[in-house]
Amino acid sequence: MGIRIAVIILGVVVVFFGGWALTYPSPDPKSFKYVPWKADLYRLNLDEATGTMVGDRHRDKLVVGKTKAQLRGKFGCLDRFSCLSRPHDTSERAIRTPSWKDRDVLFIGQSPWMVVFDGDRATNLVLVKGCGEQNSATAETGT
């Protein structure tokens, strides 16, 4: 009787997680990989994580209110410039935008996500459009 219950429970768990993985494939913000990554239960490729953040309605909760040390623990690298760590027009323009011109800003890795800080705490998460396209074009052309 105990083995039968264990097999039934195992079957339900397998069906649940299998259904979850099939219903929300990556890069969906509800995907089987992204949800545990948000809870620090799974290590997800940073490019996949930051790409999935675009569709995540609650992405600000991952960043806003966190310290630079906490963000480095979650995302790894925080750079002054995005797009292969080289200053490009897009990242330079974003940094000089009046809203955060004199504020401390860092990009999450090589992604187009810019984090605005007030002191050591993140106060805003901004998607800098155009940076990702430059990154792809630079990587493809080798310039």
Are 140 and 94 in the same domain? yes
Q: Based on the fold, state whether residues 39 and 72 are members of the same structural domain.
A: no
Same-domain status, 115 and 67: yes
What was the pLDDT predicted at 143? Answer: 31
pTM of the model: 0.72
pLDDT for position 115: 93
Q: What are residue 104's phi and psi, to 5 degrees?
A: -80, 120
pLDDT at position 35 over 50? yes
Is 27 found in the same domain as 92? Answer: no
In order of 33, 101, 139, the CA distances from 14 in angstroms are 16, 51, 40
Residues 2 and 70 in one domain: no
- Mean pLDDT lowest among 44-53, 99-108, 112-121: 99-108
Task: Answer yes or no: is 52 within a domain.
Answer: no
> Is there a single domain that holds both residue 40 and residue 71?
no
> Cα 80–27–84 angle (5° rounding)?
25
Q: What's the rounded mean pLDDT across residues 101-107?
A: 84
Q: Tell whether 72 and 115 lie within a shared domain.
A: yes
Average pLDDT, the chain: 81
Query: 9 is in which domain, residue-wise?
Result: 1-45
Same domain for 69 and 124: yes
> Angle at CA 48, nearest 5°, toward 117 and 65?
20
Domains: count for the chain: 2
Residue 112: pLDDT band (50, 70, 90) is confident
In this predicted structure, the answer to whether residue 24 has a pLDDT above a threshold of 50 is: yes
Q: How far apart are CA 62 and CA 117, in angstroms?
A: 14
Mean of pLDDT values over 89-102: 65
pLDDT one-digit tens code per residue, 78-94:
887 655 445 555 556 66
pLDDT at position 135 over 50: no
Q: 72 and 15, same structural domain?
A: no
pLDDT for 75 equals: 92
